[in-house]
Amino acid sequence: MRRKRWMKMLQSIAVTVLLLATATVLGGVFNKSGFHQTNIVVVYILSVLLIARFTDGYLYGIVATVLSLLMFNWFFTEPYFTLKVNDPTYIITFAIMSITATITSALTTKVKVAAEEAKEKEAESNALYQMTNHLTDAEDIHAIAEIATRTVSKILSTNAACICFDESGVPESTFIQQRSDGTQIRRELDHAIELQKRMEGLHMPYDVGNEFHDFPIYGTNGILGVLRIPNEAAEELTESYTRLLHAIIESMALAMERFRSLQTQAKIREEATQERYRGNLLRAISHDLRTPLSGIMGTSEMLMGMMQKEEPCYALAEGIYKDADWLCALVENILNLTKLQDGCLKLYKQPEAAEEIVGAALGVTEKRFPGREISVGVPDALLMVPMDARLISQVLVNLLDNAVKHTPADKEIRISVSKDEKENAARFVVEDRGCGIAEADFPYIFQKFYTTRGKSADAQRGVGLGLSICQSIVEAHGGRIFAENREDGGARFTFTLPLGDDAV
């Protein structure tokens, strides 16, 4: 680009010298032919006009005006070959000549500059239009980078490059660069982490490196990539080219964000489809398991009633009954989960006595874990809570089941309910004396199919649905649920249910 500038400068100087020399020669011919000196003045003005037309900027026109005035005085006014003037009227001629030449030169240059600007804007619009059309058909972000790199390299006559960033804002290990023969290559990116930090802390339109000026491509949620312009070309950028470059970067950002948005939407649709298929499969399996499990439980219970506890077969029948009961609870949880996900689980809320719900949950737990002692704390006054009794009982059963699984047989389990005056809500609390919840597990314990990473030796099997269902049911009631570790050991699960204005 610098070489082009020097070539233009030399070309402008050559045009100025040539046209002034030509005007002088023609003036000499006119002078010998006896033409009036006014014709010579017109020839010089014409040469200034042509110089302004075929050179860049106002400078050459002004210089040509001054030189033409001096040359006319030197060659065509007496005394010849001096800058003196014998006839005072020539001063008026010189003044008119200089004013006319200056105005003509300025107007010509202005028209030419306007035409060039219009041409540049047309070229910019053309380039952006062509690039936008190609970006619309791009298959991925790398194709967008390739198209933009090719366009910028062509406009700036340089070998531009582009680095793509992933969704987490980390640059890829390689980047695309244009070559002089029109092809593109992949280059290894050195110091990727350092580049990432520079882009994150950038307070300027670009960052200057050893080889490139790096222009960041920002999206709505972070950086999408970096457009790299070689230092030599970047330092020669004019205002118009800088403006065009920023327009190209904005187009790249829009195209990249559009592609990522389409990717995200496709991923969401795929996950939704998979979730729907999984829900349908779980629902079908659960319904098919219910009937045989009920038969197994009934048969094993009947066999237990026909035998003494001391008989060897009693323990076998009892084991069958417990396993079938566990599977029945799992099936119930799966069905509730699929109904919650599909929005088919309807709440039948009505005022219920909190003590009765706690008692019902304890009855189910005692049947599953006979002989297990659970301490209970309830308020002295009757506490009526708007709720779906069946679902809230399921929440308490799941929490108690979880507490029993993680608490040694000789340790305390406690369930309590109270009225929270501050929140105007009923507060249900289930506490155990297990090993507590690991810090790494806290963000995930209410996620579906998540089981704790470090279980105690006495912890029993589980598939990670109970707490997820508890959260869904409580939140469907407008309440909240959370977990914490007890200071004296163990875990505490608390959930609240809002009370109506007329709650007792």
pLDDT at 414: 94
Gap between the Cα atoms of 299 and 289, Å rounded: 15
pTM greater than the 0.75 cutoff = no
Of the pLDDT bands very low, low, confident and very high (cuts 50, 70, 90), residue 459 is: very low
pLDDT digits (tens, 9 = 90+) for 90-149: 677 767 777 777 777 777 777 877 777 777 777 677 777 777 777 777 778 888 888 889
Q: pLDDT: is 503 or 479 the higher one?
A: 479
State how far the Cα of 112 lies from the Cα of 244, in Å rounded to an integer.
Answer: 21
In DSSP notation, 184-230 reads EEEEEPSSHHHHHHHHHT--SS-EE-SSEEEEEEEETTEEEEEEEEE
pLDDT at 326: 75
Residue 169 pLDDT grade (very low, low, confident, very high; cuts 50, 70, 90): confident
At residue 55, the pLDDT reads 79
3-state secondary structure 254-305: HHHHHHHHHHHHHHHHHHHHHHHHHHHHHHHHHHHHHHHHHHHHHHHHHHHH
pLDDT at 44: 82
Q: What's the mean pLDDT when you consider all of the chain?
A: 83
Instruction: Please tell me the predicted confidence (pLDDT) of residue 2.
Output: 59
Model confidence at 487: pLDDT above 70: yes
| 126-140, 218-232, 284-298: least confidently modelled range | 126-140
Q: What is the pLDDT of residue 175?
A: 93
CA 48 to chain centre: 58
Judge whether residue 455 has pLDDT over 50.
no
What pLDDT, in 10s, does the model give residues 184-197?
999 999 888 888 88
pLDDT at 275 over 60: yes
